Structure 1
Amino acid sequence: MSGVIYQVLATLILDFNCLVYGAANSIPVLTMMLFTSQDTILDRQMTSTEGSLYISLANIGAIIGTPLAGYLVDYLGRKRSMIVCVLMPLISWALFVFSNKVEVLLASTFIVGMGGGMFVIISAYICEFSQDSIRGTLASGTMIFMILGILISIVLSEFLSYKTITYIGLTASTIGVALLSVLKESPTMLLKRGLDDEAAKAMAFYRNSKPDSKIVVQEIEKAKQALAPQIEENIPEEEKLTAEFGKKPEEKLSKWQFFNRLQKRRRFSIRPKIRCTKNSKSTQRGLFLVMTAMAAGIFQGMSVIQSYSIPLFSEAVPADVLSPIWCTAILTGLNLVSALVAGYLTDIAGRKLLMIFGSIMVGFFGLLLGTQVQFHWGPAWVTPVIICLYSIAYAFGGGTIPYLLMGEVFLPEVRGVMSIICLEWTWSCNFIAIFIFKPLVAAIGLGSVFYFFAFVAILSAVFAYFCQPETKGLSVNDIQLLLVKKKVR
């Protein structure tokens, strides 16, 4: 039990930095109207173009920061690369505090976006030091704490000045960087570098045990099995995954060599004397699974609703009843609570069931929201109620499960590069969904857009039922076995 507590505390340290990142990302949304107005507190008023850049530059920073983090995660290790990423929000908060120049604030939003690469690291970091029975619950906390950071920032903006909030953010970010010094490097990362003794000490730290204890020895052996590449010719992929590992000295492979040569080496000819590239089926299917689940989750429309929540609530709820800011805070709070419950249920109900259930409910509430917007069959307050229910349903499926799968379905040798690909895909899909929202509304109407989101949600449920394996409580090797089977359902 004490080992579980150590793993939870280590995860909380990582998640605290997600909270700081979320709070920093919400600053542009909360201050854009002020900075583009004549009452700006900056050295000059932001232009309309600068205001748009102020909100969007974080996405560009994330697209650049994610592959950079993916490179650092194996070059520096999980812990040191995490420190580099969390320095980005720290620098951004410092710029918010000490400068009032428009150009500097634009740079600060770009820099905080580069910190988004931490999600590549955290997912792998937690999955590599946590035990299988609680891995899902711990790994789901990253998005929960990012939402919590956004919520805290929204609430504080109603009571505190911009400068006060930035000082609080700078202090919290400094604490987050300092707390990382307490953690040990990932045991799996140390094993990859041949530091078996250090890996045992790190595992002992996360299990609150001695390096030579039975539980530590077992966990180290399990990690070694996950790292051992099996590339022999003419051995079926499933047989390789179930065979014993580590009997012979292993050839050292780069991650791309590993990706191309791992497990089954299938041969087929398109033309005589031409051999095809040999790929890992489990990695291919894992990548397809995660990318499809992430795209489906994003195009269920929750990111669009969150981005346009203030104008939606301004139209639906009279300002003298409740301000749009407070409506947005309530929505964010519901996202947080729902994500907490979903994170807990991932290791009880399972990933697959939650994805199916959440997606079906999003489809149902999306249909209700579309008809309400188009036909106004209910009073105005019905719209925000449906939006909140829509948000709760999304948290149980597309808002949690794809990110959990990203940390589970890939073997350690390729987990870093696969996470980069998945997150780059996520940033791109998120940008597209938000970018096309206004043109779609102008072309087909807001109600029809929600019909589209509902349709995508139903497709997500169908995909999860037929293609998504249940990974609850399984080791990475067991998950590979599920992925190479012809039938997932």
Structure 2
Amino acid sequence: MGVGMQCFAALACSFGSLIMGALYSWPSYTLDLYTSPNTTLLSAPMTELESSLVGSLPSLGAMVGSSIAGLTINTIGRQKGGVVLALPFVLSWAIIGQTSSSIVVLVARFISGIGGGAFLVFAPIFISEIAEDSIRGFLASGPVALYCLGSLISYMCGWFLSYRAIIWANLAGSVLCVVLCFLVVESPLYLLRQNREEDARQAIAKYRGATPSSKIVLEELSRMKAQITPAVELVSVKQDANEKNAEEAEKEKLQPDNEKTVHEDIPEEPKMSTLKLLFLSPASRRAFEVVATALSLQVFMGIVPVMVYANTLFAQAAPNLSSNFCSVLFAIVLTSACLITAVIADRAGRRILIISSSVMVAVTMATLGFLLQTSFAPTWMSAVVILLYCFAFNFGAGTVPYVLLSEVFVPEVQGLASMLLIEWIWFLNFVIVAVFPFASKLLGIHGMFYVFGVVAVVNAVVSYLRVPETKGLSNVQIQEALLGKRK
């Protein structure tokens, strides 16, 4: 019962990623309809710049969404906040369904990005607050898996459904996202911050499948109280500076009156702002560096432009094969890789997945670049290698950074860190999607794949040197690992 409730909450807060996956894949089979000189969908065909913006504008909208997500869910709660953050999806598809103007379509695409960016911040925060350590990796893989599932559904719709039917299908999915968020149980950590201890205890009981008075619920309540105590992180910073041992630090954190006092030889300090806490705490600063690096390198391994321009890429790589068929296979491979990662993330570990995934991406990108440059093999081989690349990427490099995002930060800085990192990632996504058509003309498609392969090699090396193993660790243990105190 408790695990089922956690899974449902993870599904609800990750469902926006499914909508975003469909939204990003939509231009792949729609741009030809919009740019055709004989188009009947728009009052005038889209220009090259407008067609580029169709794919890239959601990333700019996502920057707005990720900036307001934390404030929204901290002000009105995770449940109501999720409902509000899903509304841009509904609005955008309703607008697209009624317009024949290119400019209005672009505005709607920007609006839809607001929801996508917001959910990418919302999901890691919510999951980190309700998930048990033993299944945290599985649940944290949900947003990426649902993003890929959304792409699969979208590509299939593009293959079999009409333009209008696809729009109404996306609108229905957006409404479902609102409903799912409305049905979730509020985060107990949020309730504690609102001084609603009894409601928090009831919420914990539902998420753990136990009675409100049971030992497991009371222990979880006590642990959450300690988590939201600002003094805990301040003590950790001060102790690190004075080289105190981990056992003494753990005893201080477990003191019943920890909210009011710190170690007797450490003077009381005023509450540190969240921003200072993020960058002055050694553990939080290290966590931010690790996740920012992993996410940035992930973007430049090329999966987003490949998804947006999937039909075009397959048409160039394998002109004898149906581009719709190849795009559906592409999404199936992405989804399969995400599901496999979700199942084994809590068994294999984070580091081995991201390193092995990056190595495989490098090999496939080098192979694909060589095949396209030399025409050494039949064209269908290029399509196969693209699919292998997609599997390799989502097997670890495309998934693990978001798992890390949901687990390496203390609750006090989780919201701010998620917002800053997702803002940065959406900006990078906008840049790479907007630049990709022009860069591929300059370097050739094969040249772009060589670039992606080099970035994958860098990601493997950096992950080996910098990413800590967090499998099965509690939040306190992860902070110790970030400081190098765990082997």
Normalising by the residue count of structure 1, what TM-score does the alignment of the two structures yield?
Answer: 0.90
- State the Cα distance separating 1:194 from its structure 2 match: 2.1
- Cα contact 1:73–1:416 (8 A) shared by 2: no
* Aligned pair partner of 1:249 in 231, 246, 259: 259
Q: 1:460 to 1:21 in 2, by over 3 A?
A: closer
- State the Cα distance separating 1:203 from its structure 2 match: 0.9
Q: Which residue of the partner structure matches residue 432 of structure 1?
A: 431
Q: 1:461 to 1:51 in 2, by over 3 A?
A: closer
Aligned residue type for 1:66: S
Cα distance between partner residues in 2 of 1:154 and 1:174:
20
Q: Which residue of the partner structure matches residue 373 of structure 1?
A: 372
Q: Which residue of the partner structure matches residue 63 of structure 1?
A: 63
Q: Which residue of the partner structure matches residue 398 of structure 2?
A: 399
- State the Cα distance separating 1:443 from its structure 2 match: 4.4
Q: 1:80 to 1:260 in 2, by over 3 A?
A: same
- State the Cα distance separating 1:136 from its structure 2 match: 0.7
Aligned residue type for 2:273: Q
Q: Which residue of the partner structure matches residue 317 of structure 1?
A: 318
Q: 1:398 to 1:39 in 2, by over 3 A?
A: same
Aligned residue type for 2:131: S
Cα distance between partner residues in 1 of 2:348 and 2:386:
25
- Cα contact 2:72–2:81 (8 A) shared by 1: yes
Q: Which residue of the partner structure matches residue 414 of structure 2?
A: 415
- Cα contact 1:261–1:280 (8 A) shared by 2: yes
What is the correspondence of 1:465-480 to structure 2 with a 5 Å cutoff? 465-480=464-479
Aligned residue type for 1:362: V
Q: Which residue of the partner structure matches residue 23 of structure 2?
A: 24
Cα distance between partner residues in 2 of 1:21 and 1:158:
19
- State the Cα distance separating 1:414 from its structure 2 match: 0.7
Q: Which residue of the partner structure matches residue 267 of structure 1?
A: none
Q: Is 1:180 the equivalent of 2:201?
A: no
Q: For 1:202-239, what per-residue CA distance to the aligned partner results, in whole angstroms no more than 9, with x for missing partners?
A: 11121222211111112222222222223258533664
- State the Cα distance separating 1:396 from its structure 2 match: 1.5
Aligned residue type for 2:426: W
Q: Which residue of the partner structure matches residue 115 of structure 1?
A: 115
- State the Cα distance separating 1:473 from its structure 2 match: 1.1
Q: Is 1:260 the equivalent of 2:261?
A: no
- Cα contact 1:82–1:122 (8 A) shared by 2: no
Normalising by the residue count of structure 2, what TM-score does the alignment of the two structures yield?
Answer: 0.90
What is the correspondence of 1:169-248 to structure 2 with a 5 Å cutoff? 169-229=170-230, 230=232, 231-232=234-235, 234-236=238-240, 239=246, 242-245=250-253, 246-248=256-258
Cα distance between partner residues in 2 of 1:430 and 1:260:
28
Q: Which residue of the partner structure matches residue 128 of structure 2?
A: 127
Q: Is 1:353 the equivalent of 2:339?
A: no
- State the Cα distance separating 1:76 from its structure 2 match: 2.0
Aligned residue type for 1:345: I
Q: For 1:36-78, what per-residue CA distance to the aligned partner results, in whole angstroms no more than 9, with x for missing partners?
A: 2233333502330333333322111111111011221222222
- Cα contact 1:58–1:112 (8 A) shared by 2: yes
Cα distance between partner residues in 1 of 2:208 and 2:34:
49
Q: Which residue of the partner structure matches residue 449 of structure 1?
A: 448
Q: For 1:232-256, what per-residue CA distance to the aligned partner results, in whole angstroms no more than 9, with x for missing partners?
A: 5853366475234352434999996
- State the Cα distance separating 1:464 from its structure 2 match: 1.4
Q: Which residue of the partner structure matches residue 103 of structure 2?
A: 103
Q: Which residue of the partner structure matches residue 84 of structure 2?
A: 84
- State the Cα distance separating 1:374 from its structure 2 match: 2.3
Q: 1:119 to 1:253 in 2, by over 3 A?
A: farther
Cα distance between partner residues in 1 of 2:24 and 2:277:
40
Aligned residue type for 1:228: T
Cα distance between partner residues in 2 of 1:253 and 1:204:
35
3-state SS, counterpart of residue 394 of structure 1: helix
Q: Which has the higher contact order (CA 8 A, sep 6+)?
A: 2
3-state SS, counterpart of residue 11 of structure 2: helix
Cα distance between partner residues in 2 of 1:57 and 1:86:
18
Structure 2: unaligned runs, 5 residues or longer:
262-267
- Cα contact 1:14–1:122 (8 A) shared by 2: yes
Aligned residue type for 2:259: P
Q: For 1:9-37, what per-residue CA distance to the aligned partner results, in whole angstroms no more than 9, with x for missing partners?
A: 22223333432332234334432221222
Q: For 1:421-447, what per-residue CA distance to the aligned partner results, in whole angstroms no more than 9, with x for missing partners?
A: 111111122233334434544444443
- Cα contact 2:13–2:123 (8 A) shared by 1: yes
Q: 1:374 to 1:228 in 2, by over 3 A?
A: same
Structure 1 or 2: more helix by fraction: 2
What is the correspondence of 1:126-145 to structure 2 with a 5 Å cutoff? 126-145=127-146
Cα distance between partner residues in 2 of 1:436 and 1:92:
24
Cα distance between partner residues in 2 of 1:255 and 1:468:
30
Cα distance between partner residues in 2 of 1:77 and 1:241:
32
3-state SS, counterpart of residue 40 of structure 1: coil
Q: Which residue of the partner structure matches residue 280 of structure 1?
A: 281
Q: Which residue of the partner structure matches residue 264 of structure 2?
A: none
Q: Which moved more, 1:209-218 or 1:230-239?
A: 230-239
Q: 1:176 to 1:311 in 2, by over 3 A?
A: closer
- Cα contact 1:25–1:109 (8 A) shared by 2: no
3-state SS, counterpart of residue 239 of structure 2: coil
Cα distance between partner residues in 2 of 1:147 and 1:206:
27
Aligned residue type for 1:260: K
- Cα contact 2:25–2:154 (8 A) shared by 1: yes
- Cα contact 1:301–1:453 (8 A) shared by 2: yes
Q: 1:446 to 1:108 in 2, by over 3 A?
A: closer
Q: Is 1:34 the equivalent of 2:50?
A: no
- Cα contact 1:61–1:113 (8 A) shared by 2: yes
Cα distance between partner residues in 2 of 1:258 and 1:167:
42
The number of aligned residues is 470
Aligned residue type for 1:53: L
Aligned residue type for 2:373: Q
Q: For 1:350-396, what per-residue CA distance to the aligned partner results, in whole angstroms no more than 9, with x for missing partners?
A: 11110111111111112212222222322211111111111111111
Q: 1:160 to 1:484 in 2, by over 3 A?
A: same
Q: Is 1:300 the equivalent of 2:301?
A: yes
3-state SS, counterpart of residue 413 of structure 1: helix
- Cα contact 2:55–2:433 (8 A) shared by 1: no
- Cα contact 2:408–2:475 (8 A) shared by 1: yes
Q: 1:421 to 1:62 in 2, by over 3 A?
A: same
CA-atom RMSD in angstroms: 2.4
